[in-house]
Structures are given as structure tokens and as C-alpha cells.
């Protein structure tokens, strides 16, 4: 996509709140990479740069009673759900005020209606069990599990889909297909397609190729309503781009492929967008300074929020 006179809001089908949330996620992720380079983070971190629009697009389609299961690339999922950058950053840095007292870190976070894990495929059986609970106690509630294309190599995915189809569970599987699993292209690790695998269990599949939030929400409104009312499982596959490496230095993609993804990313650029961008960049910088000034999280752990 080349630059045009179309504004960022028009290009993305987003209002100011949507743009601000996407930019918050973008600058939060960039800030983490800076903190890691400065030696301020323990362990590793995986950013969702380029995929920020997915949880933002889903945000108004989800309800308070829904339960979100995230993965190793889940900072955007958390921020779209809770809008709590300070709590998340404190968790990642092990500072006071952390979501889970600093013991969960970047990948393992528990909060009411939300659970993330860095173990590929682990969330699907748990999400299926939670979906069974919702079907019995909370009509219309959804268990929402975010996975990537690489997770389809895990047997637990198929066990969960089998039960979800047999028991007609309200399970929404959100596939963020960025076409590369760590450093392995999708055509080298997946035979067939996500759509074909969903069809094997008789599960409806929706493929999203747009990054326009309005178009995404329009495309998903009816399928999500059907999944809630059935209830029935649903697989939604987002064809997306990962702008950064898997973690921080393990990117084997050709430079032209990465540049093409950045061309789209840069297309959303106008005066209004730049003003919002600057505001969120400054917001994240201020939050980072404040969290850095906090003492380390204290033991014993008294539970998560």
C-alpha cells in the first residue's frame, strides 16, 4: 500500500479512541524493546508490533462476562481489555503495583476474566473447559483464545476443537496468522490451511484480510452473535504482519518482506495521527519513568488482581 491523502482514521476505520489505543500499544511495545536494550528487563519479551489492531478491533465485540485467554505475544490483548499500561509494565519489571505482584512477568498474567500463557496451545483445553462453564452459567458468554499459526502444530488444539464441536461450546479461537512461527515460514510448518482444519471439525471459519477496524467489526458481528446464541465454536483467522522478530534478534525473513509490512504501517500518517502518536509516546514515556521509580515488588505474594 502506498501513501495517499486518506487519513489514518479513514484508512483504519477507527475513531479517536481506537487510534489512541493502537498507538498506546505501539509505544508500549517500543518502550519494552528500549528497556530490554538498556538492561532494565529480566527474561525476554515478545512484541505485537504490526498486530495491534486485532485486539482493538475485537474490543467492542467482546462483553464483560467473556473470558480472554492470551499468549506469549499478548501485551496488546491485555491493554485492549483493561487499559492498564502502568500495571502491566510494573508486572513485566517486577515493581510494586504489578498486576500479579511481578511473578507473572511478560507472558503469564492472571486478572479477572483474563489469563495469558507463554506455552503454545496450553490455553485451548483450558478455554474449552471455561467455555463449558459459561454455557452452563452465563448464557451468551464467550471464551476467547488467541493463538498464532505456529500453535496449530500442537495436539492440544485439536483435542480442544473436537470437544468444542461435540459439546457446542461458546469458544472463539482468534488466530493471528503472521505467516511465520518464530523463524519458520507457515508454508514450511503447516500442511493444508486453518480453514480446512476448522472444517474437519464442522466449525465455522472466518478469514479476515483487512486491517480496517470498521470492516472487521462488520464482518464479525453476525458470526460472533451466532457463536453466542448457538452456542457454537468459531475460528476467526486474521492474516496479519509481525513487524519485529519473534523476540528480539531471530528474524529470518527477507528484508523486502519486512519492508512491505512497514509500508502499510507508515501509510497511516497525517497531522491528526501524528498528534495522537506524540501524545501516546509521551504518555508511555511518563509511565515508564514513574514505574522505574517504584520499589521492587514485595513478597509474599498475596494473589493477583
Residues 6 or more apart in contact with residue 91 via CB below 8 angstroms: 98, 99, 100, 102, 104, 105, 106, 109
pLDDT of 249 strictly over 70: no
Quick one: pLDDT band at residue 1, thresholds 50, 70, 90? very low
Stretch 122-142: mean pLDDT: 97
Stretch 129-155: mean pLDDT: 94
Q: What is the pLDDT of residue 232?
A: 98
Superfamily of domain 8-292: Thiamin diphosphate (ThDP)-binding fold, Pyr/PP domains (3.40.50.970)
Q: What is the pLDDT of residue 287?
A: 96
Q: How far apart are CA 244 and CA 181, in angstroms?
A: 13
Please state the pTM of the whole predicted model.
0.88
Q: What is the pLDDT of residue 248?
A: 60
What are the tens digits of pLDDT across the range 164-222? 999 999 999 999 997 666 666 677 677 899 999 999 999 999 999 998 999 999 999 99
Do residues 75 and 104 lie in contact, with contact meaning Cβ atoms separated by under 8 Å? Answer: no
Q: What is the pLDDT of residue 2?
A: 43
Quick one: pLDDT band at residue 37, thresholds 50, 70, 90? confident
Residue 228: other Cβ atoms inside 10 A: 19
What are the tens digits of pLDDT across the range 260-286? 655 555 555 677 888 888 999 999 999
Stretch 229-241: mean pLDDT: 95
Q: Who has greater pLDDT, 159 or 256? A: 159
Stretch 121-128: mean pLDDT: 94
Quick one: pLDDT band at residue 3, thresholds 50, 70, 90? very low
Amino acid at each position: 500500500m502506498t501513501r495517499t491523502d486518506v487519513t489514518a482514521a479513514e484508512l483504519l476505520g477507527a475513531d479517536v479512541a481506537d487510534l489512541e489505543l493502537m498507538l498506546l500499544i505501539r509505544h508500549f511495545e517500543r518502550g519494552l524493546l528500549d528497556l530490554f536494550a538498556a538492561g532494565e528487563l529480566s527474561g525476554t519479551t515478545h512484541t505485537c508490533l504490526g498486530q495491534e489492531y486485532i485486539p482493538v478491533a475485537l474490543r467492542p465485540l467482546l462483553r464483560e462476562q467473556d473470558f480472554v485467554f492470551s499468549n506469549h505475544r499478548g501485551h496488546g490483548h491485555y491493554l485492549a481489555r483493561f487499559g492498564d499500561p502502568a500495571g502491566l509494565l510494573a508486572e513485566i519489571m517486577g515493581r510494586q503495583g504489578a498486576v500479579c505482584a511481578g511473578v507473572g512477568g511478560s507472558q503469564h498474567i492472571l486478572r479477572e476474566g483474563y489469563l495469558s500463557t507463554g506455552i503454545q496451545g496450553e490455553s485451548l483445553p483450558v478455554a474449552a473447559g471455561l467455555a463449558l462453564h459459561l454455557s452452563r452459567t452465563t448464557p451468551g458468554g464467550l471464551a476467547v483464545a488467541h493463538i498464532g499459526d505456529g500453535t496449530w502444530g500442537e495436539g492440544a488444539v485439536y483435542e480442544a476443537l473436537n470437544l468444542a464441536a461435540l459439546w457446542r461450546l461458546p469458544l472463539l479461537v482468534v488466530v493471528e496468522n503472521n505467516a511465520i512461527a518464530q523463524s519458520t515460514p507457515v508454508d514450511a510448518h503447516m500442511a493444508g490451511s486453518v480453514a480446512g482444519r476448522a472444517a474437519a471439525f464442522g466449525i465455522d471459519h472466518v478469514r479476515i484480510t483487512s486491517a480496517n477496524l470498521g470492516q472487521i467489526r462488520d464482518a464479525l458481528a453476525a458470526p460472533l452473535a451466532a457463536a453466542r446464541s448457538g452456542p457454537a465454536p468459531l475460528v476467526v483467522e486474521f492474516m496479519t504482519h509481525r513487524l519485529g522478530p519473534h523476540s528480539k534478534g531471530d528474524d529470518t525473513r527477507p528484508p523486502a518482506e519486512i519492508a512491505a509490512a512497514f509500508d502499510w504501517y507508515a501509510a497511516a500518517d497525517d497531522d491528526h495521527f501524528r498528534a495522537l502518536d506524540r501524545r501516546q509516546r509521551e504518555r508511555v514515556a511518563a509511565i515508564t519513568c514513574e514505574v522505574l521509580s517504584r520499589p521492587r515488588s514485595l513478597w509474599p505474594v498475596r494473589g493477583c488482581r
